[in-house]
Structure 1
Amino acid sequence: MQLPIKAILVFHAAARAGSISRAAEDLSVTPSAVSQQIQLLETQLGVSLLTKAGRGVALTEAGERYFSMISEQIERIEEATGTIRGFRSVTTLTIRATPTLSNKWLLPRLGALLDQHPDLEVRLDGTNEPTDFNQELVDIELRHGNGRWPGLFVEGIAEEQFIPVCAPCYAAPGSLRVDDLPNHRLIHSVKSQAQWATWFQLAEVAPGERWRRVMFDRSHMAIDAAVRGMGIALESTLMMEDELKSGRLVCPVAAAPELRIVTQWIVCPRDHLRQKKVRLFLDWLRTERDVWQAAQVGVRF
């Protein structure tokens, strides 16, 4: 049996209004059209739903039961319809990005993108879990890793410089020698591609068998720990932009060896590049990246 959607909605309006005429006004139809739809529904259900009560109508026992069963669903449909109508002109872009890139670099810039494109709605999913584009509704991902993901569009965001940093209250800029660092508490980002062991190899320093260290599984936690004076972290200038500019973090090592790698990548299926919202975001991201890179020229830590 075909579901009599129109008749159900008319009955709901009449039961809620308690009047055939008021329901007709709400629905912008005639009272006779309301009565016809209710009679059609009663015929299909085989029960009487409404009865006259003075100038209005009242629910029968079956009508009360039916009304209580359908009201929540109809109200949810009305709410959903109103929501979609209100967001009809908005385009939603879903971005997945690593927590540190989201918090430290993307979020401070995101307001400018939204101001430039008021019809763009952004959902930012901050996680290190890689996207399964066949199963998840993600438009574009900013992924941490080595850049080797066959079958996907992959583009490096920027080359990052990893430097030792600490709060100025812990050690002044340039006050330590490279071989001093093994004597200090070292902050480790355990998932980072830039590790202290690699940096010490570049510096030609043997750190010893036992280190004083504290470990975090997110780089933004390691950065915040360094700001709090907990020790010395090895982190990316891309992720520490605000902390370095404000002086909350400094490089305590004079003539620190340079460790430069790309760790953050733009990743998505190639067919996503045909979407206007994805191209818009990529153009904006590349511009922001170029501005950041230009600001790094000549900067010494």
Structure 2
Amino acid sequence: MTPFRAIAVFYHVATLNSVMAAADQLGVTASAVSQQLRALEAQVGTVLVTRQGRRIRLTEAGERYFELISDQVEGLIRATETMRGTRTTATLTIRATPTVSTKWLLPRLPGFLDANPSIDVRLDGTNEPTDFARDPVDLEIRHGTGRWPGLHVLPLAEESFVPVCAPRLAPPRSIGPEDLVNFRLIQSLKAQVQWPAWFAAQDLPTPNMARRLSFDRSHMAVDAAVLGLGVALESTLMMERELAGGMLVQPLRDAPAIRITTQWLVCPPANLRRSRVRRFIDWIAAEARSWQISQSGPNG
């Protein structure tokens, strides 16, 4: 009979990707963890774990074995905590840009916290990409093209880039694209779609960009448009609340939006073995689908 302790040790090693981290969490020595792993491999008759420096990698058999036992082990841990009258929490560390964090994720986060009371969340708002080998980050919502070899990458949602302004500057659908020359143009320098590309998509020459206001953060460009400082070109994902609340409007009569995906869920494939990561991905994917459906209406 395979001892449960060896199975539990394997579970912790697999979720933490480290023998040392598993030993610290279990309160035992690293050599004791390695001994339990060897005993388990002898029981199942195959190699489950290989070492890469200080980190470990599951073999194909190890990945399969983890899939078979993870739900049962997590259920036993929860049952034991219930009987003891205790509750342990796991911390999920998410990295995202300040704009995504404040404009889209933060308003939705209470839903995840309510549905997952055993998970604490740390939200790291920065534009710096994560070095997963060094930074203690479980999952990143990364801005860019989606091409990061070696990482697990999922699109968050397709966004629409549209010109917007405060309603006092121009009422909804009251001007044409050619009239934008009369307005100050606001842009985020890091946005995937810039004004010259937008005008080119409308077969129009780019107007004199001397009358412009530039920021290095999209949330600042959105806030500047709300203040009536000009017309901003931004993603509907980043200004959902401002559009829904009427603080921003789309002033153009006829101007197709540019639709692309610029936000991606990114993590090492091994991080998907962490229950907290899988739960968050399932939750945020459902939120993104709901948001996408809401954008398909007559004003989407």
2:140–2:266 Cα contact (<8 Å) kept: yes
1:168–1:248 Cα contact (<8 Å) kept: yes
In 2, the alpha carbon distance for the partners of 1:174 and 1:241 equals: 18
1:155–1:266 Cα contact (<8 Å) kept: yes
Secondary structure of 2:92 counterpart: strand
Q: Could you say which residue in structure 2 is the equivalent of 1:91?
A: 90
- 1:149 equivalenced with 2:148 (yes/no): yes
Superposition map of 1:1-301 within 5 A? 89-300=88-299
Residue type at the aligned position of 1:248:
M
Q: What is the deviation of 1:248?
A: 0.4
The runs of 5 or more residues in structure 1 that have no matched partner are 1-86
2:195–2:206 Cα contact (<8 Å) kept: no
1:165–1:251 Cα contact (<8 Å) kept: yes
1:199–1:257 Cα contact (<8 Å) kept: no
In 1, the alpha carbon distance for the partners of 2:256 and 2:117 equals: 44
Q: Deviations over 1:124-156 (max 9, x none)?
A: 000110000000100000000010100000111
In 2, the alpha carbon distance for the partners of 1:299 and 1:162 equals: 16
Q: What is the deviation of 1:209?
A: 4.0
Greater Cα offset, 174-183 or 217-226: 174-183
In 1, the alpha carbon distance for the partners of 2:277 and 2:178 equals: 47
Residue type at the aligned position of 2:286:
T
Q: Deviations over 1:219-249 (max 9, x none)?
A: 0000000000010000111111111111000
Structure 1's 210 and 127: CA in aligned 2 closer, same or farther, altered over 3 A? closer
Q: What is the deviation of 1:299?
A: 3.1
Q: Could you say which residue in structure 2 is the equivalent of 1:66?
A: none
Residue type at the aligned position of 1:174:
R
Moved over 6 A (4+): none
Q: What is the deviation of 1:112?
A: 1.1
1:182–1:211 Cα contact (<8 Å) kept: no
Secondary structure of 2:186 counterpart: strand
Please provide the CA RMSD for this pair. Answer: 1.2
Secondary structure of 1:188 counterpart: strand
In 2, the alpha carbon distance for the partners of 1:256 and 1:239 equals: 19
Secondary structure of 1:278 counterpart: helix
2:165–2:250 Cα contact (<8 Å) kept: yes
Greater Cα offset, 135-144 or 207-216: 207-216
Q: What is the deviation of 1:211?
A: 3.2
Secondary structure of 2:93 counterpart: strand
Q: What is the deviation of 1:208?
A: 3.4
Q: What is the deviation of 1:300?
A: 2.2
In 2, the alpha carbon distance for the partners of 1:145 and 1:135 equals: 21
Q: What is the deviation of 1:210?
A: 4.2
Residue type at the aligned position of 1:219:
S
TM-score when normalising by structure 2:
0.70
In 2, the alpha carbon distance for the partners of 1:246 and 1:124 equals: 26
TM-score when normalising by structure 1:
0.70
In 1, the alpha carbon distance for the partners of 2:189 and 2:122 equals: 28
Percent of aligned pairs with the same amino acid: 57
In 1, the alpha carbon distance for the partners of 2:287 and 2:257 equals: 24
Residue type at the aligned position of 1:121:
D
The runs of 5 or more residues in structure 2 that have no matched partner are 1-85
Secondary structure of 1:235 counterpart: strand
Larger radius of gyration: 1
